[in-house]
Amino acid sequence: MTTTFEAVAEIISETSDIPLEEITPEKNAFTDLGIDSLDFLDIAFAIDKHFGIKIPLEQWTEELNENPAQVDEYFVLSKLCARIDEVIAAKDA
């Protein structure tokens, strides 16, 4: 069974044309992989579609605006995937 990270890594690779082997759990989507906010909309769309969820990007953006230093907590891929798992769990609850 594909893990959340594997699915997200494939989405990022396809959407942003980044080799799969460069996408590892400790990488930050923005600062390490060079994804910009427009590309991230495509990624968010693909994640929503793949998992049948609506990741709360607006809420995360508001939280980050209040505390920009926390960016790794949202966009390091291992943490992003943990947040996605939380959204999936909330949907299935």
Partner 1 sequence: MLLEYFQMIDRVEELDPENGRVVARAEVPMESPVFEGHFPGTPLVPGVLLIETMAQASGFMLLSRLKFEKMPFLANVTLAKMRTFVEPGAVLRVEAELEHDGSGFAKTAAHIVSDGKKICDSRLMFRIMPFPNETLKGNMLDRFSQISRSQAE
| Least distance in angstroms from the C-beta of 31 to partner 1 | 20
- Helices and strands, number each (H, E), in the chain: 5, 0
Token pair recorded at residue 14: 């396809």
| Least distance in angstroms from the C-beta of 37 to partner 1 | 8
Complex with partner 1: residue 32 or 42, whichever CB lies closer: 42
Helix (H) or strand (E) holding 13: helix 4-16
Q: What is the C-alpha R_g of the chain? A: 12
Complex with partner 1: residue 59 or 67, whichever CB lies closer: 59
Q: Which residues are near partner 1 by CB under 8 A?
A: 38, 41-42, 44-45, 48-49, 54-59, 61
| Least distance in angstroms from the C-beta of 79 to partner 1 | 18
Pick from 54, 64, 59, 61: which is nearest to 84 by CA?
54
Token pair recorded at residue 44: 């968010």
Complex with partner 1: residue 7 or 44, whichever CB lies closer: 44
